[in-house]
Amino acid sequence: MEIRFFAGAAEAAGTPSRTVEVTPEQTVEYVVQQVVGDDARLAKVVGASSLLLDGARVRDRSVAVGSATQLDVLPPFAGG
Protein backbone atom coordinates (compact mmCIF):
# COMPACT_ATOMS: atom_id res chain seq x y z
CA MET A 1 0.00 0.00 0.00
CA GLU A 2 1.24 3.47 -0.84
CA ILE A 3 1.11 5.96 2.02
CA ARG A 4 1.13 9.56 0.79
CA PHE A 5 2.03 12.40 3.14
CA PHE A 6 0.97 16.00 2.54
CA ALA A 7 2.25 19.33 3.89
CA GLY A 8 3.51 19.01 7.50
CA ALA A 9 3.09 15.23 7.40
CA ALA A 10 5.56 14.98 4.50
CA GLU A 11 7.97 17.19 6.42
CA ALA A 12 7.67 15.04 9.55
CA ALA A 13 8.03 11.83 7.53
CA GLY A 14 10.97 13.19 5.55
CA THR A 15 9.38 11.92 2.33
CA PRO A 16 6.21 12.45 0.32
CA SER A 17 5.37 8.73 0.34
CA ARG A 18 6.22 5.29 1.67
CA THR A 19 5.12 1.80 0.75
CA VAL A 20 4.12 -0.90 3.24
CA GLU A 21 3.01 -4.47 2.70
CA VAL A 22 -0.47 -5.17 4.07
CA THR A 23 -3.09 -7.86 3.84
CA PRO A 24 -6.80 -7.06 3.34
CA GLU A 25 -7.74 -7.89 6.93
CA GLN A 26 -5.20 -5.53 8.49
CA THR A 27 -6.58 -2.27 9.84
CA VAL A 28 -5.85 1.34 9.03
CA GLU A 29 -4.41 1.66 12.54
CA TYR A 30 -2.01 -1.22 11.80
CA VAL A 31 -0.84 0.58 8.66
CA VAL A 32 -0.38 3.81 10.62
CA GLN A 33 1.70 2.00 13.25
CA GLN A 34 3.88 0.42 10.55
CA VAL A 35 4.55 3.81 9.00
CA VAL A 36 5.07 5.73 12.25
CA GLY A 37 7.20 3.17 14.06
CA ASP A 38 8.92 4.88 16.99
CA ASP A 39 9.02 8.36 15.38
CA ALA A 40 7.30 10.52 18.02
CA ARG A 41 7.15 13.61 15.80
CA LEU A 42 5.50 11.72 12.94
CA ALA A 43 3.14 9.98 15.37
CA LYS A 44 1.97 13.37 16.67
CA VAL A 45 1.31 14.70 13.17
CA VAL A 46 -0.44 11.54 11.97
CA GLY A 47 -2.53 11.45 15.15
CA ALA A 48 -3.93 14.89 14.34
CA SER A 49 -4.35 14.18 10.63
CA SER A 50 -7.28 13.16 8.51
CA LEU A 51 -6.82 9.92 6.62
CA LEU A 52 -8.20 9.01 3.22
CA LEU A 53 -8.32 5.36 2.18
CA ASP A 54 -8.51 5.25 -1.62
CA GLY A 55 -10.05 8.73 -1.45
CA ALA A 56 -12.67 7.97 1.22
CA ARG A 57 -12.32 9.60 4.63
CA VAL A 58 -11.46 7.18 7.42
CA ARG A 59 -13.55 7.87 10.50
CA ASP A 60 -12.69 4.62 12.30
CA ARG A 61 -9.07 3.54 12.18
CA SER A 62 -10.05 0.01 13.23
CA VAL A 63 -11.55 -0.71 9.79
CA ALA A 64 -9.80 -3.23 7.56
CA VAL A 65 -7.96 -1.86 4.54
CA GLY A 66 -9.56 -4.46 2.27
CA SER A 67 -8.53 -3.98 -1.35
CA ALA A 68 -7.40 -0.36 -0.89
CA THR A 69 -4.07 0.56 -2.43
CA GLN A 70 -3.50 4.06 -1.07
CA LEU A 71 -3.70 5.88 2.26
CA ASP A 72 -3.35 9.67 2.32
CA VAL A 73 -2.27 11.54 5.45
CA LEU A 74 -3.64 15.08 5.50
CA PRO A 75 -2.59 17.21 8.47
CA PRO A 76 -4.76 20.12 9.57
CA PHE A 77 -4.35 23.06 7.24
CA ALA A 78 -4.40 26.71 8.26
CA GLY A 79 -4.69 29.79 6.16
CA GLY A 80 -7.23 31.86 4.43
Closest CA to 23 of 13, 15, 34: 34
Q: How far is CA 2 from CA 5, 60, 80, in A?
A: 10, 19, 30
Q: What is the pTM of this model?
A: 0.92
Domain boundaries, the chain: 2-60
DSSP state of 49: S
Q: What is the pLDDT of residues 19-60, one digit of tens each?
A: 999 999 999 999 999 999 999 999 999 999 999 999 999 999
